[in-house]
Amino acid sequence: MKSLLKSRYSLYISLLLLYVSLSFVIRLVLFILSNKGMELSFLATIKIFSIGLYFDVATAFFLFAFYSLYILVIPTKWVGGRIDKGLTYIITTLSLFVVVFSFIAEFPFWEEFNTRFNFIAVDYLIYTYEVIENINQSYSIPFILIVLFSIIAAVSYLFKKKHIYENTFSNNPSIAKRLFVFALTSSALFFFSYFTTNKQAEWSSNLYENELSKNGVFSFFAAYRSNELDYNTFYMRLTDKQAFDIVKKEILQENQTYDSQNDFDLSRHVVGGDEIRPNIILICIESFSADFLGAFGNQQNITPTFDTLAQHSIFLSNLYATGTRTVRGMEALTLCVPPTPGNSIVRRPNNDHLFSIASILRKKEYALSFIYGGDGYFDNMNTYFGGQGYTIIDRDRGNPLSEEIQTTRIPISDKDVTFENAWGICDEDLYRQSLIDADKNVKKNKPFFQFIMTTSNHKPYSFPENKIDLPQGNRESAVKYTDYAVGEFLKAAMKKSWYNNTVFVFIADHCASSAGKWEVNIQKHHIPAIIYNLPQQDTVISTLASQIDLMPTLFGYLGWTYETELFGKDINHIKSGEERSLLGNYRTIGILRDNIYTEINDRKKAYQYSWDAKNSQMVKFKNIKNEQLKNICVSYYQTASYLYKNNLMKENKKIN
């Protein structure tokens, strides 16, 4: 080893050691920042840093594999020459840039998501405009670049001071020695490639401990490779018939009958009452956790509008988001399906003309609009909503819809924008688009449905000046502005002729954060939901429910008779003992019922926990306590995955 350190391999070994050392420092800092979320023990700490070291070493070999190959193939006569020095300096600088940049990026990503790089980071590579603008508006890019290049320069100076470059250019081992070293490094790469997976770092039920055990770069490429998860391959299952038999009993309500005797057909006839067809404006609010509201005990007075609405509306106080991303919320609200593992259906291919709330609304002759203040190209939103027949209203930054989607796209003009950040126009500007679209549809004498997706409650937490009494740049301020904008929107809507015949539905897409002591942190899925401007005001519904139940519940209040294939249920027709909420993350999915949370994961494992909602405490059972509930959990997700995979969620499907 000593001879290698003073040989052609001096720089290569130094880069490996540097990366592993810096990775340790990053893990230590994140460990300190996260200690409140962990139940610290000596054994857990040892595991975090030892497993982390293993992944750091693996990542280091991958990162510098090209340089090890370069050392092997460069002719001896070139060693120390201009070409060798030039290429070595370029390789070193680029390698250090990637390493240092990834380390710097770990901190804002951890602050936002409390995880190492995952599939969200992979997605961000696709949507460069929003991400770069978000970084630019949240942080000082010149300062970041100065820090980044200063670190690279300091490392290069250290290498020069320690004669690393001098040793690297001084001599070249024989081809036999180089082949031997390359064989060793190749063997290490082979081992890490075939026998190391990110799942091996997930040894704890505590999310923080798992994430700290990982390496950010390794996690990034692991997410890139496994962005889709096939249910049948990775999850425990029943026979398809068993799963559908269970689900069909689960979702059938007292005012419903099945249209078909086919085992795999969820089509049902829903009998309503005295039907009304008001306009419907559904406002999906970015990252709006229940614990922001005074109605749930918050003492900061940052949601006065929502706290008033909660007292004079149909207030669903015990409702949970299905996931932790905007596209999951959209999926739950429009398709009313369980959060199948992997990507949200919103982001998957072949997701047009699915049976959704749009299918029901179109039969009731509603005009459909999707209104978003950014570019709906992000997260495939425009393609998805366009594929269900919505008119698209967004910023339209030159990302055309495919020819297959027959829809209208209305760009939001610059003249209609008073404030805009990386993610889109401010909520006030967005709501003005809603008013414009509503006025157009009223002139056509047609009821309208709007799905509005807000963005102001998102980092960098910037919004128009002089609107609220809090400064820019933090979550609480953004929440208060979000609340203020809703108040102003309702004031403007009240002046419209269509106001008295319009129902306003407010719900979050997901919570502001999701990390906690468990893989799925139930409290971090608790979101507010409000149905406003119906006769049944001053109503609080405390029934445990899921985000997928919101729209079927609204249809129930409207007295609609209709055909449905949705998994969501009318909360007012849920029988005692059948309350449930479906929730999960990218890979771990589950169901909450009777204070028991059942989760299944992509290792074909199932676990159950007791859930104390009052104290937000979850305790794992040693064994499965309720086998029936486990089968119900499996059935929900297996059937939803089966239907999508086999094109049976399509409106014009053919069931054999």
The CATH number of residue 452's host domain is 3.40.720.10
Assess whether 200 and 249 both reside in one domain: no
Residue 179 lies inside a defined structural domain of this protein: yes
Residue 578 lies inside a defined structural domain of this protein: yes
pLDDT tens-place string over residues 83-107: 999 999 999 999 999 999 889 888 8
Please state, in angstroms and rounded to a whole number, the distance separating the CA atoms of residues 293 and 299. 8
Which distant-in-sequence residues (6+ apart) come within 8 Å of 489 by Cβ? Answer: 427, 428, 431, 434, 435
pLDDT tens-place string over residues 29-50: 999 988 776 777 889 899 999 9
Q: What is the pLDDT of residue 202?
A: 85
Residue 655 lies inside a defined structural domain of this protein: no
Rounded to an integer, the average pLDDT of 19-24 is 95
DSSP string, 592-610: EETTEEEEE-TTS-EEEEE
pLDDT above 90 as % of the chain: 66
Residue 176 has pLDDT above 90, yes or no: no
Query: Residue 319 forms beta bridges with which residues?
Result: 527, 545
Please state, in angstroms and rounded to a whole number, the distance separating the CA atoms of residues 584 and 340. 9
Residue 650 lies inside a defined structural domain of this protein: no
Q: Which of 190, 225, 260 is the last residue of a domain?
A: 225
pLDDT tens-place string over residues 361-420: 999 999 999 999 999 888 889 999 999 999 999 998 766 666 666 578 899 999 999 999
Assess whether 329 and 355 both reside in one domain: yes
254: alpha, beta or left? (left if phi > 0; alpha if psi -120 to 50): alpha
Residue 411's φ and ψ, nearest 5 degrees, are: -75, 145
- What confidence category does residue 259 fall into, taking pLDDT thresholds of 50, 70 and 90? very high
Most confident of 98-112, 138-152, 343-357, 556-570: 556-570
Assess whether 385 and 250 both reside in one domain: yes
Residue 348 lies inside a defined structural domain of this protein: yes
Assess whether 283 and 361 both reside in one domain: yes
Check: CB of residue 217 under 8 Å from CB of residue 117: yes
Q: What is the pLDDT of residue 440?
A: 96
Q: What is the pLDDT of residue 537?
A: 84
Residue 198 has pLDDT above 60, yes or no: yes
Residue 1 has pLDDT above 60, yes or no: no
Assess whether 211 and 325 both reside in one domain: no
Residue 635's φ and ψ, nearest 5 degrees, are: -65, -45
- What confidence category does residue 145 fall into, taking pLDDT thresholds of 50, 70 and 90? confident
Q: Which of 191, 225, 259 is the last residue of a domain?
A: 225
Average pLDDT score, the chain: 90
Q: Which residue has the higher pLDDT, 5 or 204?
A: 204
Please state, in angstroms and rounded to a whole number, the distance separating the CA atoms of residues 137 and 141. 9
Q: What is the pLDDT of residue 654?
A: 64
Residue 226 has pLDDT above 60, yes or no: no
- Shortest CA distance to 511 belongs to which of 113, 121, 108, 38? 113
Q: Which residue has the higher pLDDT, 124 or 18?
A: 18
Range with the poorest average pLDDT among 56-70, 99-113, 482-496, 523-537: 99-113
Q: What is the pLDDT of residue 225?
A: 64
Assess whether 616 and 510 both reside in one domain: yes
Rounded to an integer, the average pLDDT of 4-22 is 88
Assess whether 497 and 634 both reside in one domain: yes
Check: CB of residue 568 under 8 Å from CB of residue 548: yes
Give the chain's domain count: 2
Q: What is the pLDDT of residue 125?
A: 64
Assess whether 214 and 296 both reside in one domain: no
Residue 98 lies inside a defined structural domain of this protein: yes
pLDDT tens-place string over residues 271-321: 999 999 999 999 999 999 999 999 999 999 999 999 999 999 999 999 999
Rounded to an integer, the average pLDDT of 332-341 is 96
Assess whether 461 and 531 both reside in one domain: yes
Q: What is the pLDDT of residue 117?
A: 82
Q: Examine residue 278 and say whether the peptide bond preceding it is cis (omega within 30 degrees of 0).
A: no
Residue 654 lies inside a defined structural domain of this protein: no
Q: What is the pLDDT of residue 130?
A: 61
Assess whether 376 and 238 both reside in one domain: yes
The percent helix, strand, coil of the chain (3-state, each to 5) is 50, 15, 35
Q: What is the pLDDT of residue 650?
A: 95
Residue 227 has pLDDT above 60, yes or no: no
Q: Which of 225, 260, 281 is the last residue of a domain?
A: 225
Assess whether 357 and 395 both reside in one domain: yes
- Write out the two tokens for 45: 């700490």
Residue 653 lies inside a defined structural domain of this protein: no
Residue 216 has pLDDT above 80, yes or no: yes
Q: What's this model's pTM, rounded to 2 decimal places?
A: 0.78
Torsion sign (Cα): 130, 132, 135, 137? negative
- What domain range is 63 assigned to? 2-225
Q: What is the pLDDT of residue 120?
A: 67
Which distant-in-sequence residues (6+ apart) come within 8 Å of 496 by Cβ? Answer: 435, 438, 439, 442
Assess whether 156 and 249 both reside in one domain: no
- What confidence category does residue 231 fall into, taking pLDDT thresholds of 50, 70 and 90? confident
Q: What is the pLDDT of residue 128?
A: 60
Placement of tokens 């700490």 in the chain:
45
